[in-house]
Chain A
């Protein structure tokens, strides 16, 4: 059945438009189950649009998208965990960490948390080393603490696909290393597929099994050493100026 689909995400001839603006054009790719995929590309390349399409937040102008073997309208959203950028958190909203985690279980905000839900939330928070944060208001959390709570929120529903929007932005180096450890730990235990937007080519190179290089069109897709090639980076980030130099330095650092 569909649950045993070979690919976590299958995209065929996908085009997404915002009015007249083409955000993504003619994208086709297949993400194998259990892969750790990094999406890289310059600002405005359509990275967020791609994950929003996979999450069902944006409707494609044309093309086909299957997630975990299902068309988006038939997919049970519990099978996908979404970790948004923690900077989007509305800190004026009164919320406790355990409520945020339980919202991932219920797909609704909890008025009162049942004992069973609390146990599951605590287990998920423990897994990310944040059990001590359970009863504390999220408005006072640091970036690293918030990131852990959002990860617990995604993990609590035991998703087969975890989608992360720039998860390392705004957290320190140790926090970042910790986050990759948690993600890789979850993947090892569950066999889940991870899909993350990042601006950090080093992180993509070291942690991802596959890299998508995007600039409105699909420029490269494959293992990092192939996708993060000079040709792909130059095509995505431009042939002139600072981006060009940075791309060259990165590639030479890896291959020379």
Chain B
């Protein structure tokens, strides 16, 4: 059943998928518990604006998409903190503006840009060595921020208690939004902007069903991610269906099963 795994492109796809499962399992619970599930989707659309600008300027679109999306993430956080606009409204505004910019940038290019569609639907089976290195870099950056997990979780539980204990909650909000933006840009290349938010939200939401602790929820989200990447890739290859969509559908299956098994009495 797993004989295709010796093919180099499958190995790269698996490695990239597993790194994404780790990253999204780590950041997803923060997004879900902070009521920011929509942020992943908004940032993916923002990343599309960045990719379109990158395509217009020429060269590797990722290098433009990364700062573009990070800037949007910081902008959303600023609007959320400093105005009376709620988080989802801020995301909604930035997401629409970035998409509109993306469409204008692509129209300015005046030639067919098939590559733009790769970013819409993703292509985990076309992962390059560069993609792997970028993902590993992001994983390393995340490992460096591990000592901040406790205070991020504390502020996620109760922002006011954390603030009273002098946790720099505002700085942490910006840092988290920045790191999530990086995850979204890198994941978008693999699963597509239309599905990238699912990676951040569904495994965490599934794990919440059975987890008694926040740390347990994080481990559960990673496991759901790993399970869906391994079996999703195998199923997509076997039945010749898109890999990103198959992975997301498997995540949704786990979520549904968990919701049915651990539903509230």
Are A and B physically bound partners? yes
Q: Is the CB of A93 within 8 A of B160?
A: no
Q: How far is the CA of A55 from the CA of B166 in the complex (A)?
A: 10
Q: Is the CB of A56 within 8 A of B166?
A: yes
B142 interface residue, CB < 8 Å from A? no
Q: Is the CB of A109 within 8 A of B164?
A: no
For residue A132, which residues in chain B have a CB less than 8 angstroms away from its CB? none
Question: Chain B interface: which of A37-45, A99-107, A181-189, A217-225?
Answer: A99-107
Q: Is the CB of A57 within 8 A of B163?
A: yes
Which residues of A from 90 to 104 have beta carbons under 8 Å from B? 90, 92-96, 99, 103
Q: How far is the CA of A82 from the CA of B158 in the complex (A)?
A: 12
CB distance from B49 to the nearest CB of A (A): 32
Residue of B nearest to A137 (CB): B212
Q: Pick the residue among B151, B158, B160, B217 that contacts A108 (CB under 8 A).
A: B151
Residue of B nearest to A136 (CB): B212
Q: Pick the residue among B33, B157, B164 that contacts A82 (CB under 8 A).
A: B164
Q: Is the CB of B151 within 8 A of A55?
A: no
Q: How far is the CA of A122 from the CA of B187 in the complex (A)?
A: 43
With A57-B160, A57-B164 in contact, is A94–B150 under 8 Å at CB?
A: no
Which range contains the number of A residues in contact with the other chain? 20 to 34
Q: Is the CB of A56 within 8 A of B213?
A: no
For residue B157, which residues in chain A have a CB less than 8 angstroms away from its CB? 90, 93, 95, 103, 109
B149 interface residue, CB < 8 Å from A? yes
Q: Is the CB of A111 within 8 A of B164?
A: no
Which range contains the number of B residues in contact with the other chain? 20 to 34
A69 interface residue, CB < 8 Å from B? no
A112 interface residue, CB < 8 Å from B? yes
B215 interface residue, CB < 8 Å from A? yes
A114 interface residue, CB < 8 Å from B? no
Q: Pick the residue among A80, A95, A108 that contacts B150 (CB under 8 A).
A: A108
Q: Is the CB of A88 within 8 A of B160?
A: yes
With A77-B166, A108-B154 in contact, is A95–B213 under 8 Å at CB?
A: yes
Residue from the set A80, A88, A93, A112 with the largest chain B CB neighbour count within 10 Å: A93
Main secondary structure of the interface of B (DSSP, over half): helix
A84 interface residue, CB < 8 Å from B? yes
CB distance from B81 to the nearest CB of A (A): 15
Which residues of B from 147 to 174 have beta carbons under 8 Å from A? 149-154, 156-158, 160-161, 163-167
For residue A60, which residues in chain B have a CB less than 8 angstroms away from its CB? none
Q: How far is the CA of A93 from the CA of B152 in the complex (A)?
A: 13
CB distance from B210 to the nearest CB of A (A): 9
For residue A82, which residues in chain B have a CB less than 8 angstroms away from its CB? 161, 164
B214 interface residue, CB < 8 Å from A? yes
Chain A 120-149 interface 0/1 with B at a Cβ cutoff of 8 Å (1 = within): 000000000000000001000000000000
A110 interface residue, CB < 8 Å from B? yes
B208 interface residue, CB < 8 Å from A? yes
Q: How far is the CA of A82 from the CA of B162 in the complex (A)?
A: 11
Q: How far is the CA of A99 from the CA of B212 in the complex (A)?
A: 11
Q: How far is the CA of A76 from the CA of B148 in the complex (A)?
A: 20
Sample 17 A-B pairs with CB under 8 A, ordered by A number: A55-B164, A77-B165, A82-B161, A90-B33, A90-B157, A93-B156, A94-B214, A95-B157, A99-B214, A107-B151, A107-B165, A108-B167, A109-B150, A109-B151, A109-B154, A109-B157, A111-B150
Q: Using CB atoms and an 8 Å cutoff, list the residues of chain B in contact with chain A.
A: 33, 149-154, 156-158, 160-161, 163-167, 208, 211-217
Q: Using CB atoms and an 8 Å cutoff, list the residues of chain A in contact with chain B.
A: 55-57, 77, 80, 82, 84, 88-90, 92-96, 99, 103, 106-112, 137
